[in-house]
Amino acid sequence: METRKSNPIKVFLYISVWVIIWGTLGSFIDYPLYKNKIYLEGSIYQYLTFTFTAMIAIISAKFLYKKIDL
């Protein structure tokens, strides 16, 4: 049985891209909420926004990692 070897540079870049996607998505969601004074900067709701988007990014990254060959 052949084992699959992953390239560490490709994996590092894959994770880096997902961190950028997470930060961008979280910021796009956070900005209008913050500007419309729905919550204040540094509030628990802002942390929840970024935590929720992080969970979405992690689940998406794991799902797509199985589909692509790194």
pLDDT tens digit string along 36-70? 999 988 999 999 999 999 999 999 999 999 888 77
In this prediction, residue 1 carries a pLDDT of: 54
3 burial via Cβ count (<10 Å: 0-12, 13-18, 19+): exposed
- Give tens-digit pLDDT for 5-47: 778 899 999 999 999 999 999 999 999 999 999 998 899 999 9
In this prediction, residue 18 carries a pLDDT of: 95
- 5 lies in some domain: no
- 37 lies in some domain: yes
In this prediction, residue 4 carries a pLDDT of: 66
Distance, in Å, from the CA atom of 7 to the CA atom of 59, rounded to the nearest integer, reads: 21
- 10 lies in some domain: no
In this prediction, residue 61 carries a pLDDT of: 94
The amino acid at 42: G
Which domain covers residue 33, as residue numbers? 28-70
- 2 lies in some domain: no
